[in-house]
Structure 1
Amino acid sequence: MPGNSDIKFGTSGWRAIIGRDFTFANVRLVSRAIAAYLKTVHRSSFIVHRKRSISRTTSGVRRPTVVVGHDTRFMSEDFAFECSRTLAEEGIQPLLTREDTPTPVIAYEIIRRKLAGGINFTASHNPYCYNGIKFSPSYGGPAFPEITNEIEKNINRISTKARNLRHENTKRSGVKIKYIDPKEKYIKRIKELVDLKALRKLKIVCDPLYGTGRTYFSNILRRTTYDVRLIHDWRDVMFGGGRPEPDAETLKELAAKVKAEKADIGIATDGDGDRFGIIDSDGTYINPNAVVTLLVYYLHKTRGWKDAVVRSIATTHMVDAVAKKYGMETIETPVGFKFIAEVMQERDITIGGEESGGLTIRRHVPEKDGILACLLMAEMVANEKRPIKQILAGLYRQVGLFVPGRINLRLTPEMSRNLRNNLIKPFKDIEGIKIIGKNTIDGTKFLLEDGSWVLFRFSGTEPVARVYAESSSAKKLNILLNAGRKMVQ
């Protein structure tokens, strides 16, 4: 069992291996730490007596209420129940979902019910041996660093004795677990955002990768079209022996099924339904960079939206080119959807997206929604009446070709020092292409005269440097990525 200081909240919460670090004791510990944070935030509406907590103050303000969900991983429902019991003991009202629930649904429930926050037990796209706790505050998006820092401080303050308490005070708190089913309210919201009737024109193959998207896709698509095929649409805590990550490698079976069925589109989500994967009618995997770009075009065309487009620093600049064509501002953020969510707290946006396969749209949740992304892409294919690659080719003709790529470099201590030293040198060019700008909001990004760019980011959890690049051809892209490799020497 790890010490308290070993529990760290990253971009999407805390993740660990089940049975090694992810244990019931640590779930209770983290749950108490989150409860302590919530009680601090809502102190004015929380009265603690010697023996019990009052659910309302004299002004009628509710006690903090939190929705608790889980994905399809081994024992996720048991961990969620343990968390709910712990929250109840601490005087927090838990609303426990009756079945596994996607993260964007948890986010929508927080906003719809105006809750203090939400907790989802998921390790997202990680392998089956992991589980995790994803905490979302009252705004429904990923927790900002100042919030996760407070939770970590609470973890370190809670004693070993308190960590091992097993609900002795549940009756004394007077709080009971309430059960909810958020599915229908979320589906109603999806109907407001997507033209589901258009999907009746399509043959769709859907792969939820044994995850939380399976019952949602089944409910939405089978109400909409008779021509839908679902694969991997049952619970398998081992995820078929693979990773529930909707990338080109994992979706090979979906791609083959799309071709065999002569379907119009293949759609997929990861374990907790926040990331998306898209397959074109010929079985081609569509890069998330292209998906975000296509939806900038499509949402402007069909909805007339002209609000800002938000993307991470590692996402294609084709987004910028298409947005500029329509008179839309582009805002660049550090990597991590919480930074896109932060922009959404301040202003309306058309779309926010990142190259790792997450996006959301105007006046929806400030959280990645893979289900929504898939359905919007299906709507686009239905209304455009042509394959995705043809739509993308039309955009290339208008704004030029953008070819993004990424490599991961495993570093020795010496290589890491070399790279850090090289990045602060006063470079004038990369492979003969003049540097015209440098961005250091997250890593080091060099902007080049011909519109190309190269980004270097160090992993916060392993000795790895990630090199992202983009240029106007695959040949130029490879030259830039190779230049990135040389930087560690």
Structure 2
Amino acid sequence: MSRITFGTSGWRGILCEDFIFDNVKVVTQAIADHITDQGEKGKGIIVACDSRFMGDRFAKEAARVLAGAGIKTFLCNRDTPTPVVAFEILRRKTAGAVNFTASHNPPEYNGLKFSPASGGPALPETTQDIERRANEMLGEFCYKEVELDDAQRQGLLEEIDPRPAYLADLEQKVDFAAIARLGGLAVNPLYGTARGYLDTPLMERNIPIRLINAHRDPYFGGFPPEPAEKNIQDFIALVKGDPAIKLGIATDGDADRFGIVDEDGTYIEPNYIIALLLDYLVRVRGMKGGVARSVATSHLIDAVARKHGVEVYETPVGFKYIGELVTQDKIIIGGEESAGLTIRGHVPEKDGILACFLVAEMVAREGMSVRALLERLYSQVGRVVTKRENITLSPELEDRFPDKMGTTPSEIAGTRIKDVVTIDGNKFLLDDGSWLLFRKSGTEPVVRLYGEAASPERLKEVMAAGKQFILS
């Protein structure tokens, strides 16, 4: 049987291959044993799923196994956004949640994510313990199951609707009155869990919206459910073709990532959104504290932080590390280049719904388009251009890659390397402010190459030099 492996966001696999009911039950039992050994069995656990194939079936099977372990399940009554699950963990003070989601992965995938009582993604020591327990039990009948009706009669199952409490909380964190003055918005839940979350608060205020892809489709329209530019061309065309639309907002399949389209149809990279929101939250809302970004995320954030005298925390890739800083109340905002962010006082988890509404609030209160806001920011802190590429390695290059990362050249792209950051991959900081990051995939022969520079021309040179360094 295939080994259970937890990545940065849980265990994921292809449906009917390694992601099957027997394996799901084993992993659920491993989580039940982990919770029991942590002394948190009596707190109960939330079980949820996204809008993928079989998600509700997997959730019910997990509830049966948890009931067999004597752990009460709060079972969500429909597919539920990941940030809403995090909010409900904190609101109910449960031992955590089992969430069946593969986030932005293609439709043939499903996944199981465990979030602990903190509400954020589980840290490595937690996932390693669950992974070890699961792999020791693979192929064994190691769990007891209770029928759902019996679990309900025994007080071990309660069906819940977490939507009203979450939306009520958003009322305290988003200025919807300002958004109402913005005018028309285009809204795209991308066939995923944000249906009824991304649109309802706007419709309740009679804010004009153009809603697209707002029904459940486990195929996600034939694309991976990620609001990246290449996947949302229908949405971009909608925004571009309607002069009444002032902003387009989109979320991924489980609503923890965001996608922003400006009024002229321009897709705005998530890196720039995080920097703009940092500036907005400090300058307009008057929030105080630090900012966190992953090692792969834009240093435009650092430039904004210098402008406001804000401390920057650089973390490994994986929102769990940013979530820890939110829990410790050290930061105003934390974000990753892969379109995840949260703010102080909110959940220690990525929230694409909140991100979209904050951008809408910012555009409304500033009275400027996103591109205009970005140009203004560039005039104050300097221009930054970012890019990411995947480089496929031959078997020979993959074998040599560790040795390659063990040596640092004196310069790259004609510029001296002034420092190397190794908290997650190898990041070369150059004298002219440019940088390159090399991160090896843990599951395939691919190196992720991230680069940043002050102009598109310089970025092209830096990325070419980085690719040559890997392939030479």
User: Smaller-chain TM-score range?
Assistant: over 0.9
Closer/same/farther in 2, CA of residues 343 and 70 from structure 1, 3 Å limit: same
2:164 paired residue number = 184
Q: CA deviation at 1:171?
A: 5.4
Secondary structure of 2:256's match? coil
- Matched with 1:121 is 100
CA contact (8 A) 2:64 2:147 kept: no
Aligned: 1:324 with 2:306? yes
The alpha-carbon deviation at position 390 of structure 1 amounts to 0.3
Unaligned runs of 5+ in 2: none
Q: How does 1:154-303 map to 2 (within 5 A)?
A: 154-158=133-137, 160-163=139-142, 166-167=145-146, 174-201=154-181, 202-262=183-243, 263-303=245-285
1:80 aligns with 2:80: no
Q: CA distance change for structure 1 residues 252 and 413 in 2, over 3 Å: closer, same or farther?
A: same
Q: TM-score, normalised by structure 2?
A: 0.96
Provide the secondary structure at the position in 2 that maps to 1:445. Answer: strand
Provide the C-alpha distance between the structure 2 equivalents of 1:430 and 1:417, rounded to a whole number of angstroms: 23
The Cα of 1:218 is off from its aligned counterpart by 2.4
Task: Please state if 1:335 is matched with 2:317.
Answer: yes
Match of 2:89 in 1: 110
Q: Matched residues in 1 for 2:138 and 2:224: separation?
A: 36
Partner SS state of residue 365, structure 1 = coil
Structure 2 Cα separation of the partners of residues 420 and 19 of structure 1: 34
| Structure 2 equivalent of residue 59 of structure 1 | none
After TM superposition, the structure 1 stretch with the greater mean CA deviation from structure 2, 18-27 or 464-473, is 18-27
Aligned partner of 2:18 in structure 1 is: 21
Over the matched positions of the two proteins, sequence identity in percent amounts to 48
1:67 counterpart (37, 46, 64):
46
Q: Is the 8 A contact 1:25 1:163 kept in 2?
A: no
Q: 1:235 is aligned with what amino acid? A: R
- Rate the CA distance shift 1:76–1:159 in 2: closer, same or farther, 3 A: closer
How high is the TM-score relative to the length of structure 1?
Answer: 0.93
Per-residue CA shift, 1:167-207, capped at 9, x if unaligned? Answer: 48995994431011010100011111100111112210011
Indicate yes or no: 2:13 matched with 1:34.
no
Q: CA deviation at 1:19?
A: 1.4
Residue number in structure 2 paired with 1:53:
none
Q: Which residue of 2 aligns with 1:395?
A: 377
Instruction: Give the letter for the 1:396 counterpart.
Output: Y
Aligned residues: 468
The CA distance in 1 between the partners of 2:121 and 2:281, in whole Å, is 24
3-state SS, counterpart of residue 297 of structure 2: coil
Following the alignment from structure 1 to structure 2, what is the Cα–Cα distance between the partners of residues 223 and 345? 32
Q: Does 1:306 align with 2:288?
A: yes
Aligned counterpart in structure 2 of residue 93 of structure 1, from 52, 72, 92: 72
Query: How far apart, in 2, do the equivalents of 1:88 and 1:97 lie?
Result: 15
How much does 1:223 deviate?
A: 1.1
Give the secondary structure class of the aligned counterpart of 2:241: helix
Partner SS, residue 433 of structure 2: coil
Could you tell me which runs of 5 or more consecutive residues in structure 1 were left unpaired when the two chains were aligned: 47-62
Aligned counterpart, 1:467: 449
Measure how far apart 1:165 and its partner are: 5.3
CA distance in 2 between counterparts of 1:169 and 1:285 reads: 45
CA distance in 1 between partners of 2:411 and 2:133 (Å): 47
Compute the displacement of 1:164 (Å).
7.1
Counterpart Cα distance in 2 of 1:39 and 1:384: 50
Contact 2:69 2:144 in 1 (8 A): no
In 2 relative to 1, CA 424–385 (structure 1 residues): closer, same or farther, beyond 3 Å?
same
